[in-house]
Each structure stands twice: as structure tokens, then as C-alpha cells.
Amino acid sequence: MFEDVHWLQVKIDDFLANTPELPQHIIFQASQNFNEKLVRFNSKPRGKSNLPSLSQIGKPFCQLHANKLDWSQTPKTSSFKIKMTYGDMTEVIAVAILQAAGVNIFALNQRTMLPTDEGDLYGEFDLIIQDDDGNLTMWDIKSASRYAFENKFKSYEAMKQDDSFGYVSQLFGYTRAERMKYHGIEAGGWIAINKETGDMKVCAVNPDDEELYYDNIVDTIKRYKAADENNFQRNFSDVEETWYKKPTGNRKLASACTFCDYRYSCWPDLEYRKKAKSKSAHAYEYYTLFKEEEKDLGIVC
Ligand code: SF4
């Protein structure tokens, strides 16, 4: 079946297909943007605010709850800051390419605030784009692993199914927040860049979902205010490990938990160890329950 390609994707593809060149003024602006981003390398973690930020509000609720309870977080790896800086650099490159492709960037990297009856949420959006008819749409730029690029950013439906970072709520939250200033603004989507290959992909949302996600945001704030040490509930169970479809007897973290900063507080017996059965020296797994392998009595050493 023929699917419409988003006009933004067409602009990007046309630009990249024709021996692309970045004009000097765009290179200069990109270097200024990168300057501002690189300063963040030295920034210290902000103090905790009363409510989650717009970039956090759509995450699994147990993560927000653990944050409210001040559970200890897994220490960041030594490469964490470089990884964040790569993401910032990718964003600068994407903006430069969009501008060179003739896309009108109406606003870039601005703080915003979403007022609700339950409290105000803060955040910083990536960009607002204006199309040729003057319509404004909200976009986030995401640098993605090959897996996320091919699976999460495949379509809006795929993103909704696997949104453990809360990207959809984040985008609708920014859109709603900016509507106070720009009445007709709608959610656009994500411009994803594959960190491995450099491919760029536009993943557009259905703006009609905004009300639903806004209601979810307000419900989440209510739950967050009521969250205490007596009502914590995990959103995910651990899962049975299998090897060639047979249970190994071990249990491991659900994949959403492997990215969670609170995984060791949440699962006190958690062990990060070499994957059972695998011969690869680099295959590791987060085990919530690990049974030492029984000797295979059929093998004579
Ligand atoms: S480890 Fe998993 S269940 Fe626990 S807080 Fe994190 S995401 Fe939720």
C-alpha cells in the first residue's frame, strides 16, 4: 500500500540526495549552538523539583515514584557525559541540515511551562517548525541506536507500543505548553538520527491524541502527589530466562528496567553477570535470580 511521505522527510531526503552543502551562515550558527550545548558538559545535576519535568512525566510511574522517594540511583558510567554530548552534537547537526534543506525553524531550544490544575510542569523543547502555510508544529530530535531507529521510530504506533522513555507525553506536553503563546500549534513528531549509520527519519504523531495524553499527564501528577513509601508498585515484573526456548531456571530484568536508574534499589538481589549458557565473553544480563548451573552429567570431561 502506498503511504504518504511526510513533507519534512521529503525536504531532508531531497537535500541529502543532491551533493549537500551547508552554507557558511548555517555552519556559523551551528558552531554557536554547539558552544551552548558543550557548556552543559560542566553542568551539575539540578536539585529535585516538586513535580517531574515534562521529559520525565511519561516514564513508567514506578520510576517517578522511586524518584520521589529518593531511592539511590545507579552511578553513571565514566562515558555518560560523552554519550550525552554526542546526543547534543547530533541535534546540532540535525538542525543545520534542516535549515540547509529550507525548513523554517521558528523556535529552538526554549524553556517552557505547562500549567495544570494539579501544578506546573517545566521542560525545554527542541524545535518548533513553521511550514509554507504558516502552520506551527512541535518536534523533538532524538539520536537513536540502530534498534530504536528501526523499531521505535518506525511509526507513531510502534512508538506508542514501546515508549518507556515517555517521548509521546513529552511531545504533547511541550505542544500544550506552547499553545498559550501560539494558539494553532500542533504536535509534529520526532526527527530521529541513527547513531550508527547517520540516517535521518521523520516519525510524525497523530495530533488528535493530544487530549488523551494531556489527561494522562494530569492523572500522573495526581498519582505522584499521592505516592509514598507505602504504595510503591513496580510497573514491570522480572521475566523467565530461556535458552533455545527452554527455561534456564534464572530470572532477569524486563528490558524497560535495564535502563532504569533505580534498578538496584528496586531489585535488591540484582546481579549483572555473564549470560548463562552463552559462549560470548561480552554477553551480560541483569539477573534478579541466578542459579548456579548444574553440571551436565551426560558430558564426560
Ligand atoms: S527497576 Fe523496573 S520496576 Fe523498578 S522502578 Fe525501575 S522500571 Fe520500575
Give me the residue label for grid cell 554519550.
83
Q: Can you give the pLDDT of all 301 residues of the chain as single tens digits?
A: 556 899 999 999 999 998 899 999 999 999 999 999 999 888 887 777 899 999 999 999 999 999 999 999 999 888 989 999 999 999 999 999 999 999 999 999 999 999 999 999 999 999 999 999 999 999 999 999 999 999 999 999 999 999 999 999 999 999 999 999 999 999 999 999 999 999 999 999 999 999 999 999 999 999 999 999 999 999 999 999 998 899 999 999 999 999 999 999 999 999 999 887 777 878 899 999 998 765 443 333 3
Cβ pair 250, 290 in contact under 8 A: yes
Q: Which 3 state secondary structure label does DSSP give 282? A: coil
Q: Do 116 and 189 sit in the same domain of this protein?
A: yes
Q: Do 91 and 13 sit in the same domain of this protein?
A: yes
Q: Is 30 in the pocket of ligand 1 (CB under 6 A)?
A: no
For residue 229, the CA-to-ligand 1 centroid distance in Å is: 15
pTM for the structure as a whole: 0.90
Q: Is 260 in the pocket of ligand 1 (CB under 6 A)?
A: yes
Q: Do 80 and 199 sit in the same domain of this protein?
A: yes
Residue 84 falls inside a structural domain: yes
For residue 208, the CA-to-ligand 1 centroid distance in Å is: 30
CATH number at residue 113: 3.90.320
Q: What residues make up the domain containing 284?
A: 239-289
Q: Which 3 state secondary structure label does DSSP give 288? A: strand
Q: Do 186 and 80 sit in the same domain of this protein?
A: yes
Residue identifier of the C-alpha nearest atom 2 of ligand 1: 257
Q: Do 147 and 215 sit in the same domain of this protein?
A: yes
Q: Do 222 and 248 sit in the same domain of this protein?
A: no
Q: How many CB atoms lie within 10 A of CB 247?
A: 10
Write b or e for each residue in 62-93: b if 16 or more Cβ atoms lie within 10 A of its Cβ, otherwise e: bbbbbbbeeeeeeeeeeeeeeeeeebbbbbbb
Question: How far are the Cα atoms of 127, 244, 290, 300, 301 from residue 297, in angstroms, in the given order?
Answer: 62, 19, 20, 7, 10
Q: What is the dihedral of CA 41, 42, 47, 49, to 10 degrees?
A: -40
Cβ pair 261, 73 in contact under 8 A: yes
Q: Do 171 and 261 sit in the same domain of this protein?
A: no
DSSP line for 83-114? HHHHHHHHHHHHHHHHHHTT-EEEEEEEEEEE
Domain count across the chain: 2
For residue 9, the CA-to-ligand 1 centroid distance in Å is: 36
